[in-house]
Structure 1
């Protein structure tokens, strides 16, 4: 029952994340990323579970997160070069590292939610 509640919450959250990314420059990528996660969580609520989809999605999210971590003005630069300033003060990504750092953590959240489902069954 707890997994059903968890998946309902994350399905709605990922739908909201997809919605707020509709006006982004790379909307096709991020709406797809969040919609895949929302669909997986939504299907899980109805007892439909496709392990290979979870594995492919988790692998993609983690590989992309590693790319964002090491890219120029990515998470590593945010920590080392910029000394971890706040990335949540404003919704506008005014500094070069803000967008990639936020995307990195979004990918970790999505991968973690799907990994919980994958390993719970």
Structure 2
């Protein structure tokens, strides 16, 4: 788990750094840096359940918003037939940017969920 967490800690820092030219870096930099911090702590075998739950709530609410947003995930699937969102790094189409952001949240939630389950099982075994 240490390698897993150090890898994602590094990746989330890179993701945050790449947000400097995003239209809303003040939203996305903290999202990725918070996830990076939790991965850093997990790599050091530290687990704060409240911090994870706070992350799940914030990321989850924002992900649901990105699903139903006018240019969000559902719009990408239904109106744009799931067109390639990795074709170019320039998001000229709003549904491309919104869908990418949704998948970014899915990645963050997935990584934190893996850590959460791991540490909960570890605590149960030690109890």
Q: TM-score range by the shorter chain?
A: over 0.9
> What aligned pairs does 1:15-26 form with structure 2 within 5 A after superposition?
15-26=13-24
In structure 1, C-alpha distance between the alignment counterparts of 2:86 and 2:110, rounded to whole Å: 21
Task: Indicate the residue corresponding to 2:118 in structure 1.
Answer: 120
Structure 1 residues without counterparts, runs of 5 or longer: none
Superposed displacement of residue 85, structure 1? 0.5
In structure 1, C-alpha distance between the alignment counterparts of 2:43 and 2:83, rounded to whole Å: 38
TM-score, normalised relative to structure 2: 0.91
Task: Indicate the residue corresponding to 1:111 in structure 2.
Answer: 109
> What aligned pairs does 1:20-99 form with structure 2 within 5 A after superposition?
20-99=18-97
SS at match of 1:43: helix
Task: Indicate the residue corresponding to 2:100 in structure 1.
Answer: 102
Q: Which has the higher contact order (CA 8 A, sep 6+)?
A: 1
Alignment RMSD: 0.7
Count of residues in Structure 1 that have an aligned counterpart in Structure 2? 119
Superposed displacement of residue 66, structure 1? 0.6
Residue of structure 2 aligned with 1:8, choices 6, 9, 32: 6
In structure 1, C-alpha distance between the alignment counterparts of 2:59 and 2:107, rounded to whole Å: 10
Structure 2 residues without counterparts, runs of 5 or longer: 120-127
Superposed displacement of residue 96, structure 1? 1.6
In structure 2, C-alpha distance between the alignment counterparts of 1:112 and 1:58, rounded to whole Å: 10
